[in-house]
């Protein structure tokens, strides 16, 4: 009786519960998920957990490359325990090392306060709520640098938690874009393999075949508009090349080439339609993107745009570029799964009952790829975080006044070898990049094992 009850309980478990139980058995995955939860919590409430705003600094006194503030828990004179406090620091020039040094002024203790109001440093949560409440604070003229300061004297801890908003958000948004493109194009490629679709109107051939209803007319008009834009672009490009030509022969050559291109466009629009297998078109595009090294492709696409763009536009540009170059592998794998799933009995039955192609893809095929999508999504986010960090490190990504972990590492690199010998705290953003990437990989491995029935314990 007891065994049968236990067997019935095990059979009644949902797929989600089984996956969760298997995921919890993967220690590294649980640790990675916990670290990610902390990182995303810090990033989401960066204003509350930071001590100052990320761009706050003072010119007099200057705190350039100040070391992490020493927090005291005992009175240095009596040795008695007390509430945590710090001392103010003064900047002095060391004649022995010929470098700036910071010396504590032990005449006054400045206790660290919790849940303090900072009207001079307000912030907003999710661009909706405004507040000035912070977790930690200290009264002026003392400064609380939990991880030291950068070359301008800005608090590095505050800049790290605000930089996490950009780096971690870009990873998720870029992964979302790449997966939408991968699911859409991979699904179309696999489902319509062997079906030659028309990419141009071909009005003469289409009219001979008879009308196709209102939907057919709308498709024909849309294709005609698209190819009309192509024709206009050909004419404008030809006129511009003719204007820039330096001799008569060159002008004649450009005119002939322009007329040939325009004649080809008119033939496609008016006479014979251009038909192609979408599987061939999409897979050849995937191969072209995959043939170019990712970093070089990313740098080349970014170089098309000027470096003087607004920081907000650069943020969305980096998200779009990372998402654009990352969908190829996803589309190839989704295509392979769709090729297998479209021959399954339940898909064939749905088609026999008159279900449209869109309904078959959305309701019957794509849900069967959910486990693969979840696993690969978690494993692809680290690559996007690393891609953003690399672009920002090279000076092609996020720019001031925004900050990211890659931009903070670039600031450390600008400091030269002294960043390793004299001020190693400026390299701390690299630790956060390492933790985020390692944690996502651990969690991805755990999800892959949890969804795989062969590895369940």
d(CA 252, CA 274): 29
Q: Classify residue 52: in a domain, yes or no.
A: no
302 and 332 fall within a common domain: yes
Task: Assign residue 164 the CATH number of its domain.
Answer: 1.10.3720.10
272 and 282 fall within a common domain: no
Q: Classify residue 5: in a domain, yes or no.
A: no
Residue 1 has a pLDDT of 44
Residue 437 has a pLDDT of 92
Q: Which of 153, 188, 207 is the last residue of a domain?
A: 153
d(CA 383, CA 167): 11
Residue 315 has a pLDDT of 84
70 and 102 fall within a common domain: yes
d(CA 175, CA 305): 22
Q: Classify residue 337: in a domain, yes or no.
A: yes
Where are the alpha helices (H) located in 45-89, listed in sequence order? 46-49
d(CA 144, CA 135): 12
403 and 259 fall within a common domain: no
163 and 201 fall within a common domain: no
Triad 91, 93, 94: Cα angle to 5°:
120
Do residues 147 and 68 make contact, with C-beta atoms less than 8 angstroms apart? yes
Do residues 134 and 118 make contact, with C-beta atoms less than 8 angstroms apart? yes
Cis peptide before 401 (omega within 30 of 0): yes
Do residues 411 and 141 make contact, with C-beta atoms less than 8 angstroms apart? no
Residue written as token pair 């505050």: 158
348 and 419 fall within a common domain: yes
Residue 199 has a pLDDT of 60
Q: What are the residues whose beta carbons fall under 8 Å from the beta carbon of 385, sequence distance 6 or more?
A: 167, 168, 170, 171, 433, 436, 437, 440
Give the DSSP letter of residue 61: S
d(CA 301, CA 324): 10
Do residues 328 and 322 make contact, with C-beta atoms less than 8 angstroms apart? no
Residue 211 has a pLDDT of 47
228 and 262 fall within a common domain: yes
Q: How many CB atoms lie within 10 A of CB 26?
A: 21
Residue written as token pair 């990182």: 39
DSSP, residue by residue, 292-347: S-HHHHHHHHHHTS-TTS-HHHHHHHHHHHHHHHTSHHHHHHHHHHHHHHTTSHHH
Q: Classify residue 51: in a domain, yes or no.
A: no
Residue 268 has a pLDDT of 66
Expressed as residue numbers, the domain containing 208 is: 197-276
Q: Classify residue 248: in a domain, yes or no.
A: yes
d(CA 168, CA 135): 22
Residue 216 has a pLDDT of 53
pTM surpassing 0.85?
no
Helix (H, G, I), strand (E, B) or coil at 367: helix
Residue written as token pair 């509350």: 48
325 and 411 fall within a common domain: yes
Closest CA to 335 of 378, 362, 366: 366
d(CA 256, CA 251): 9
Distance between start and end Cα atoms, the chain: 24
Q: Classify residue 66: in a domain, yes or no.
A: yes
DSSP, residue by residue, 107-124: EEEEEPEEEEE-TTS-EE
Give the DSSP letter of residue 350: H
Beta bridge partners of 110: 86
Residue 414 tokens, joined = 């600008």
229 and 169 fall within a common domain: no
359 and 341 fall within a common domain: yes
Give the DSSP letter of residue 149: B
Q: Classify residue 50: in a domain, yes or no.
A: no
Residue 213 has a pLDDT of 47
d(CA 143, CA 136): 11
289 and 357 fall within a common domain: yes
Q: How many CB atoms lie within 10 A of CB 439?
A: 22
Sign of CA dihedral 86, 92, 98, 100: positive
Beta bridge partners of 85: 72, 111
Residue 457 has a pLDDT of 61
412 and 365 fall within a common domain: yes
Give the DSSP letter of residue 368: G
Give the DSSP letter of residue 402: S
Helix (H, G, I), strand (E, B) or coil at 82: strand
Q: Which of 276, 293, 327 is the last residue of a domain?
A: 276
In tens digits, the chain (457 residues) has pLDDT values of 445 545 555 456 777 788 788 888 888 989 999 999 999 999 999 989 999 988 888 887 888 888 899 898 888 887 788 889 998 888 887 777 667 788 888 888 889 999 998 888 888 887 788 888 999 889 888 889 999 888 888 999 999 999 999 899 988 998 889 888 888 888 888 888 777 666 655 554 555 454 454 445 565 666 667 767 777 887 888 888 778 777 777 788 888 888 888 777 777 666 666 677 788 888 888 888 888 887 788 888 777 777 777 777 888 888 888 888 888 888 888 888 888 888 888 888 888 888 887 788 878 887 788 778 888 888 888 888 888 888 888 877 888 888 889 888 888 887 777 778 888 888 999 999 999 999 999 988 888 888 776 666 6
Q: Which of 241, 257, 276 is the last residue of a domain?
A: 276
Q: Classify residue 452: in a domain, yes or no.
A: yes
As for how many domains the chain has, the answer is 3
């Amino acid at each position: 009786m007891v065994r049968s009850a236990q067997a019935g309980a095990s059979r009644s478990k949902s797929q989600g519960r089984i996956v969760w139980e298997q995921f919890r058995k993967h220690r590294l995955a649980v640790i990675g998920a916990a670290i990610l939860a902390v990182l995303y919590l810090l990033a989401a409430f960066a204003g509350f957990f930071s001590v100052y705003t990320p761009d706050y600094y003072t010119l007099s006194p200057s705190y350039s490359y100040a070391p992490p503030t020493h927090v005291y828990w005992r009175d240095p004179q009596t040795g008695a325990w007390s509430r945590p406090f710090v001392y103010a620091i003064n900047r002095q020039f060391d004649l022995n090392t010929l470098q700036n040094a910071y010396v504590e002024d032990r005449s006054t203790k400045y206790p660290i306060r919790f849940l303090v109001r900072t009207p001079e440093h307000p912030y907003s949560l999710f661009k909706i709520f405004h507040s000035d409440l912070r977790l930690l604070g200290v009264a002026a003229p003392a400064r609380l640098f939990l991880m030291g300061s950068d070359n301008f004297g800005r608090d590095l801890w505050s800049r790290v938690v605000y930089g996490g908003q950009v780096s971690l958000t870009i990873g998720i948004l870029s992964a979302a874009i790449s997966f939408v493109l991968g699911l859409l194009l991979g699904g179309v490629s696999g489902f319509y393999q062997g079906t030659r679709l028309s990419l141009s109107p071909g009005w003469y051939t289409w009219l001979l075949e008879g009308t196709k209803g209102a939907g057919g007319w709308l498709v024909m008009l849309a294709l005609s508009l698209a190819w009309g834009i192509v024709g206009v672009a050909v004419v404008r490009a030809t006129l511009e090349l003719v204007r820039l030509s330096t001799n008569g022969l060159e002008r004649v050559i450009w005119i002939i080439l322009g007329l040939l291109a325009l004649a080809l466009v008119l033939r496609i629009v008016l006479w014979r339609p251009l038909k192609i297998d979408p599987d061939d078109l999409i897979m050849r595009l995937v191969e072209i993107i995959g043939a170019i090294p990712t970093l070089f492709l990313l740098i080349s696409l970014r170089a098309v745009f000027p470096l003087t763009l607004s920081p907000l536009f650069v943020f969305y540009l980096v998200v779009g570029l990372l998402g654009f170059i990352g969908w190829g592998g996803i589309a190839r794998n989704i295509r392979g799964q769709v090729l297998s799933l479209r021959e399954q009995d339940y898909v064939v039955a749905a088609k026999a009952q008159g279900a449209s192609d869109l309904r078959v893809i959305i309701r019957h095929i794509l849900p069967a790829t959910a486990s693969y999508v979840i696993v690969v999504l978690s494993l692809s986010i680290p690559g996007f975080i690393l891609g953003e960090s690399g672009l920002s490190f090279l000076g092609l990504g996020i720019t001031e006044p925004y900050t990211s972990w890659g931009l903070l590492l670039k600031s450390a690199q600008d400091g030269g070898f002294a960043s390793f010998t004299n001020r190693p705290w400026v390299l701390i953003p690299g630790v956060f990049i390492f933790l985020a990437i390692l944690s996502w990989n651990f969690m991805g491995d755990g999800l892959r094992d949890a969804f795989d029935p062969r590895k369940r314990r």
